Amino acid sequence: MHLALIFIIHVLVFWYIPIQGNQILFGEAECPADDQKNCRNFKANGYLRAFYLIVCVYLYLSALQIRVGFPILKKPSSVMQYNESVVAYIGAQIYYNAPFVTELRCLLDFTFSKTSLDIFQFW
């Protein structure tokens, strides 16, 4: 998945976005020599370079998370983990593998519990 994402981002940043932007502005894929200020190429467009930098940081952090490892717990702490049926097992696996669901559960637990801790102490 990460390799496909890297490929897609590079195609978008270095090929599709500059060519489409220049075709919309100038009617051709290349920038005219006299109008480099409005050019949509990677070297001339600061927004495109900032977007690429943000994507590179995201990809680095996600690769670091994969290298360090995901949480080692097999099932989330819920009622479904104690049930031995196939439906409960599939439900627990969907809950565990869905992105950000466990973090949202932590936020909901913090929101609806009576505590004097702030959110960072609660985590």
Per-residue pLDDT tens over the stretch 18-34? 888 878 878 887 777 77
Count Cβ atoms below 10 Å from residue 33 Cβ, excluding itself: 7
Residue 24 to residue 9: CA distance in whole angstroms: 21
Confidence of residue 122 (pLDDT cuts 50, 70, 90): low
Task: Look at the pTM and tell me if it is higher than 0.75.
Answer: no
Q: Does the pLDDT at position 78 exceed 70?
A: no
